[in-house]
Chains A and B, each alone.
Chain A
Amino acid sequence: MARKHAAAALAVMTALTLTACSTGEDSGSSSEGGVSGDITVLTNRTDIVDTELQDYVAEFQKVYPDVNVEFEAITDYEGDVSIRLNSQDYGDVLLIPNSVTKDQLPQFFEPLDTVEALSSKYRFIDEQAFEGQAYGIATFGTANGYVLNKKVWAEAGITEPPKTQQEFLDALQAVGDQTEAVPYYTNYADGWPLSQWQNNQGSFAGPEAVQSRDAQAAPWSDGNEQYAIDGLLFDVVAGGLSEKDPTTTNWEESKNLLASGKVSAMVLGSWAVPQIQGATETVGGAPEDISIWPMPWQTDGTFHSRVGGDYKLGISKHSENKDAARAWLDWFVTDSTFAVDQGGISPVVGAESPDTLKDFEAFGVEQVELAPAPAGEESLDSDIYNEAEIDLFGDQYRRNLIDVARGAASGDRLSFFEDLNSRWNAARVANNG
């Protein structure tokens, strides 16, 4: 609360100074004080659209009293909004859907500024940029790894993050043997949690992970990152360390299971930590037992965690009120407390890291940000995986992987990865030539 009041006071003060400015000198500064109009903001946060988001609007209007902000909350954000892009009616400010490829950004969104100019102030600018122009700014950043219940792991005698895949499997085995908990929960039925595995790209192969994957004929072979990530999931399931029936899992319930220690770990981003800590209030358990640890591999004796921006806020090309839209966008990513409230990493360069990442500091985890794609290859990665129908950021092939691993589909580890490799390479060749 104290923080909120401080922010409110600050906002009022800036508002006063700004109006003072604009009345004092009329020349040119038509921005802050003079911005007015109605804007529609599309959001995926159906849970807080009528509560917390309205508080942000109240704060915002202290600075820009003439801008009205309406929200439109969409449950299946990705699916609905990517279809709506066909029309010209997709709000003024919106989160850029992931299915938009980089070269399509100029079709739908207003360029914000050059990447060069913005990256001195914001992180994750490269992630929605095309030909040197940035089209979106992240609402918050996420570090990736696995969320675990440390109390359960401590009961099994593990108090430090495993350093190798084998150590990780042994740790889960120990949890399975010595506690009542299910060591790992795949969330197979909801599907999207399976795509969280892919967010760890870069923690193994470094910032150039995507480019090196696109150059590989066989990403699913020993020594490559994709093999490390998917191989680990395969071994967890094949070793019987995951839930008994993956087809009937439930995400909302899984938060309670992890919070109460009935499940010991799930691969997720740091964004999930506050949600699961929140679940401890209803099902019992201590919030401090819930933490996120880095993936079980090290480079040069150090853990790495891939840090990436969540959805990026962009401005519709068809907005009729681009000044007001821009004002909201800038205010929301810079001056609102949204990132901190969500337990995320602030998109502003130099901001403090959130409490959820305490353990990362304790274990000396280095943050990795993916390097931007070289010019002309912005959509190469998605072109390849769409062509190959291997949805790296979806759930289809990882569900298949889990089915093979638990013996419910034909094939084995080798044949499954070989099939992925051959499809990948065919698509890669098709896209290069």
Chain B
Amino acid sequence: MAVMSGTTAPARAADSRSPGSRRPTRRGWKVTPWLFLAVPLGLLILFTYVPVANMVWYSFTSWDGFDAVKEPVGFKNYVEIFTRPEIFRVFLVSLYYLVGAFLQLVLAMYFATVLSFSTRFRNWFKGIIFFPYLLNGVAIGLVFLFFFRPGGTLDALLGLVGVQEAPLWLGDPSLVNVSLAATSVWRYMGLNFVLFLGAIQSIPNEQYEAAELDGATSWQKFRFIILPSISQIVGLSLILAVSGALSVFEIPFIMTGGANGSETFVIQTINTAFKFSKVGLASAMAVVLLLLVLLVSWVQRRFFPEEKGDLA
């Protein structure tokens, strides 16, 4: 928008002075915003929409990933997805991450609230909480692999407080997803925390002062001032959390490779495409995931309508 208004204003000024050169100038000014947009739009189309269109096309073929011929098979891949229960069963794994994500939001909100008031060492704490988000996901995966292995860091720490028979954090199928979801919480809480903190700090101080004069408690300040003021950010975070939980990939892929019952939908898609050379079916799975995420976002928007702005 800034580009548009910035360019049209001088255009009009030029018009009034030299009517003779009116036409070409105006045409020139009309083209200008598109010239500015050409590069980003070109990149967007080239690297986002063309690949997505390709993916949709592959999803209607039985392509294996490198054959010169892509044979169309109609809706066969989609039928296969919805008739093979094991393909959808992996979404149960996402539930662990969903629970983790809610826990993560609550924790982030707690820390953001506490640290937005004057707390001792608050900048230091802010740094500590945000730091994991800056780390490379692969590095986190490897670090936690050593953390969770038998006799690793976690077991050694537990040994200090007297726990001798520590479970296999990644080896035990009933624990593996909890361990992985916990790693994910550790990693992504920093992002939510920063989002919440920013929103909380934009609340004018007068409101707290007025509340204090009325004798509000800390909880009441949180419930009636902070929460309503950051509701938009909370809505956005919820959408991100749910779509994130549906498409978990990095941490389980690096740490367990999806083994031992930790396979998520995206890992399954990758395996289908590159281990079993069924790129067609895998593309269909990716399209289904995309539609699911869109559906979830839409439902959420229906239930949490935003009052103003277009953040989400």
A residues near B, CB below 8 A?
79, 82-83, 85-86, 99-101, 104, 107-108, 188-189, 191, 244-248, 386, 389, 391, 394-396, 399, 403, 408-409
A396 contacts which chain B residues (CB < 8 A)?
Answer: 271, 275
Task: Given A104-B67, A247-B168, A396-B271, decide whether A386 and B277 contact each other with a Cβ distance below 8 A.
Answer: yes
Inter-chain contact B276/A83, CB cutoff 8 Å: no
Contact call A247/B256, Cβ cutoff below 8 A:
yes
Contact A247 B277 (CB under 8 A): no
Query: Judging by beta carbons under 8 Å apart, are B148 and A248 in contact?
Result: yes
Query: Chain A's interface: helix, strand, loop or mixed, by majority?
Result: loop
CB neighbours (8 Å) of A389 from chain B are: 272, 276
Q: Which residue of B lies closest to A403 (CB)?
A: B260
| B66 at interface, CB cutoff 8 A | yes
| A403 near B150: Cβ-Cβ < 8 Å | no
Which 4 pairs from chain A and chain B are nearest by CB? A248-B149, A245-B171, A247-B170, A85-B66
Instruction: Kindly list chain A residues whose C-beta atoms are within 8 Å of the C-beta of B261.
Output: 403, 408-409
* Min C-beta distance of A428 to chain B, whole Å: 16
Q: Can you give 17 contacting A-B residue pairs, CB < 8 Å?
A: A83-B65, A99-B65, A108-B66, A245-B149, A245-B168, A248-B149, A248-B170, A386-B64, A386-B276, A386-B277, A386-B278, A391-B275, A399-B260, A403-B259, A409-B173, A409-B260, A409-B261
Q: A85-B66, A403-B261 are in contact. Are A245 and B170 (CB under 8 A)?
A: yes
CB closest chain-A residue, reference B172: A408
Interface presence of B68 (CB below 8 A): yes
Decide: A107 and B277 in contact? CB cutoff 8 A. no
Q: Which residues of A contact B170 (CB under 8 A)?
A: 245, 247-248
B79: shortest Cβ distance to chain A, in Å?
A: 15
Docked CA distance A108–B271 (Å): 24
Measured between beta carbons, the chain B residues less than 8 angstroms from A82 are 65-66, 274
Kindly identify, within residues 125 to 172 of chain B, every residue whose CB is under 8 Å from any CB belonging to chain A.
Answer: 145, 148-150, 152, 168, 170-172
B257 lies within 8 A of chain A by Cβ: yes
Q: Could you say which residues of chain B place their CB within 8 Å of the CB of A386?
A: 64, 276-278
Once the chains bind, are A100 and B66 in contact (CB under 8 Å)? Answer: yes
- Residue of B whose beta carbon sits closest to that of A410: B173
Partner of A247, one of B66, B67, B259: B259
Known A-B contacts A83-B66, A386-B278; the reply to A245 vs B259 at CB < 8 A is no
B256 engages A189 (CB within 8 Å):
yes
Contacting residue for B259 out of A99, A101, A391, A399, CB 8 A = A399
Asked if residues A248 and B145 are in contact (CB atoms below 8 Å), the reply is yes
Which B residues touch A409, using CB under 8 A?
173, 260-261
- Interface set, chain B 249-267, CB cutoff 8 A to A: 256-257, 259-261
The contact of B171 among A83, A391, A395, A408, by CB within 8 Å, is: A408
**Chain A residues within an 8 Å CB radius of B171:** 244-248, 408
Q: Which residues of B contact A191 (CB under 8 A)?
A: 257, 259
The answer, yes or no, to whether B176 is at the interface (CB within 8 Å) is yes
A108 to B149, CA, bound (A): 44
Q: How near does chain A come to B169, taking the closest CB pair, in angstroms?
A: 9
Expressed in whole angstroms, the Cα–Cα distance for A82 and B271 within the complex equals: 14
Which residues of the other chain, A, contact B271 by a CB distance below 8 angstroms? 396
A403 CB contacts on chain B under 8 angstroms = 173, 259-261
